[in-house]
Amino acid sequence: MLFIVPTPIGNLKDITLRALEALKEVDAVFCEDTRRTSQLLNHFGIQKKLFRYNEHDERSVANAMAWLRSGKSAALVTDGGSPCISDPGRKLVALARATGMKVTALPGPSAVIAAAAGSGLPADSFIFLGFLPRSRGKIVKALKASFTLNKTVILFESPHRLKKFLAMAREEFGPGLTAVVAREISKIYEEWTGGAIDDTIARIEAAGDVKGEVVVLLRPPEKAGGDEEEDEEETETEFHRRGAEEDEAEEQGIS
């Protein structure tokens, strides 16, 4: 059995009880960096066999599958956040599912979700682009396609390229763009900078060198009638409530 276990992206207290339970119960842990994962496990008093998992090494993937095929369980973790979300793990999960193995994905720390929730931008639905290509043409193409849906766009960017990226976005899409930069989420020096893109650029420039992990959120200007469309979208709470009502009706034989 394979457990997909999210780990803290900053504050170690962000780990969930289910994550700790899974890490204690599995036979081994597949991880990006054995040193980082060892530090995490030691902090919580957990001793486990660790295997470095390299998504780009066929032998590493094969060894992980062989472990699972032997009937042993494993937890898949990364250096922080949820495996498979702009992090290693997808190939192993796909192979495990294809061979009929049980895979359980635990909810937990995610820079993407934290950034969406804390940005103040509409997040009923959004587009996550992960790390964009390095080519300007490909970046512009990806952003243009995303902006046509009039949704909040979330992406990861290197701190060393952040200023260049924001300047490019301003040049290509104009001053109507809203930009929020979330830096070092869940860490001591967590920082949020946002507003009209010109204001965001000015504040980022004034702050000097950018350090740490960065999440960028972009929002195109609202289209005519956008508010009406947003009001019609079903919230997650409404979705779960409707599902519960439908389940209850089905149990009572009501259609």
Buried (b) or exposed (e) across 222-250, using 16+ Cβ within 10 A? eeeeeeeeeeeeeeeeeeeeeeeeeeeee
- Say what the pTM is: 0.83
Q: Identify the CA nearest to 210 among candidates 198, 200, 197, 220.
A: 200
Asked whether the CA dihedral 83, 191, 163, 129 is positive or negative, the reply is positive
Of the CA atoms within 13 Å of residue 177, those in its CB half-sphere come to: 23
User: What domains does the chain contain, in order, with CATH numbers?
Assistant: 2-105 (3.40.1010.10), 111-223 (3.30.950.10)
pLDDT in tens, 106-155: 999 999 999 999 999 999 999 999 999 999 999 999 999 999 999 999 99
Whether the predicted pLDDT of 232 surpasses 90: no
d(CA 129, CA 143): 9
User: What are residue 178's DSSP bridge partners?
Assistant: 196, 219
pLDDT in tens, 61-84: 999 999 999 999 999 999 999 999
